[in-house]
Amino acid sequence: MTGSGNTSAGTLGAKIFGLYEQEVIRELQGLLPCATLVNFGAADGHFPLGLLKAGLVDQAICFEMSAEGQREIAENATANGLSDRVVIQGAVGGGVHDTLATLGVLPSQTLILCDIEGAEFEVLSDAFFAWAKGAQLVVELHDRLMGDGSLAPREALIARLPQDAQHRVLKGQPKDWRDIAEIEALSDNDRQLICSDGRKVLGEWLIVTYPK
């Protein structure tokens, strides 16, 4: 997939080689295919456009607060021949479930990928989960980067899940760069740099699924 900016230069190498958030990619591969991917915090469209290009979703709805990000998603979608399968929205807010309902999104046919830098604890409300019942979710958790690092926001979020929802926390894992010749040829230090997601703390994601 071709593409352009609105992404950290420090993670560009990992994205080019398919190593950025590799644990999330593996998780998505196990949850897909599905009809619709909803991406809260879509940045430059790396995940939604990649999954469209791979044929794992039929359409993608991208919420991105920055005008630059929205422009990059549109440009990247055009460059990859995906414009007719992408819907671009602005910042995700507390009534996002009403927006998704208006767009005709069916939760039972949807995967929601959420990376909104701590706003997940407000946006993913009781009302949201009431609407989203049946949808699969992958939510990046940012509670350890907020305030005193308390896990109370995470616990409150999990308590909102419907009773029949299954959940677990996925933690960041070492990158598997085996058989990538360009990375094998690097020095140890350069290899670690190109594989880094640039995080201050270990990445964690809340995975929410429903029994088939």
Mean pLDDT of the chain: 93
Q: Is residue 161 part of a domain?
A: yes
Q: How confident is the model at residue 5 (pLDDT cuts 50, 70, 90)?
A: very low
pLDDT at 181 over 50: yes
The answer to whether position 2 is within a domain reads no
Pairing status of strand 34-40 against strand 110-114: parallel
How far is 40 from 157, CA to CA, in rounded Å? Answer: 16
Residue 174 backbone dihedrals phi, psi, to 5 degrees: -60, 145
Burial 161-197 (b: 16+ CB within 10 A, else e): beeebeeeebebeebebeebeebeebeeeebeebbeb
- Classify residue 1: in a domain, yes or no: no
Q: What is the mean pLDDT of residues 85-112?
A: 97
139's CB contacts (< 8 A; 6+ apart) are 112, 114, 115, 120, 124, 157, 205, 206, 208
Domain extent at residue 86 = 9-209
In sequence order, which residues have a C-beta less than 8 Å from that of residue 5 and are 6 or more positions away? 44, 68, 72
* Residue 203 pLDDT: 95
Find, among 57, 23, 63, 61, the residue nearest to 43 by Cα.
63
pLDDT at 10: 59
Q: How confident is the model at residue 211 (pLDDT cuts 50, 70, 90)?
A: confident
Residue 8 neighbours by CB distance under 10 Å: 12
The confidence band for 12, taking pLDDT boundaries of 50, 70 and 90, is: confident
Give the pLDDT confidence score for residue 112 in this predicted structure: 98
Asked whether 118 and 142 are in contact (CB, 8 A), the reply is yes
Secondary structure letter of residue 62 according to DSSP: E
| Kind plus residue range of the DSSP H or E element containing 77 | helix 67-79
Flag whether 4 is in a domain: no
Residue 35 in this model has a pLDDT that exceeds 90: yes
112: in domain: yes
- What would the mean pLDDT of 50-66 be, rounded to a whole number? 97
Residue 34's CB: how many other CB atoms inside 10 A? Answer: 19
Cis peptide before 48 (omega within 30 of 0): no
| Separation CA 66–CA 89 (nearest Å) | 10
* Cross-sheet strand order for the sheet of 166-171: 86-89, 57-63, 34-40, 110-114, 136-140, 204-209, 166-171
Domains in the chain, number: 1
pTM as predicted: 0.91
What CATH number is attached to the domain comprising 99? 3.40.50.150
Confidence band of 8 (pLDDT split at 50, 70, 90):
low
pLDDT for res 4: 45
Q: What is the mean pLDDT of residues 67-82?
A: 97
Give the tens place of pLDDT for each residue, 117-176: 999 999 999 999 999 999 999 999 999 877 777 889 999 999 999 999 999 999 999 999
Angle at 47 (CA atoms; ends 41, 53), nearest 5 degrees: 140
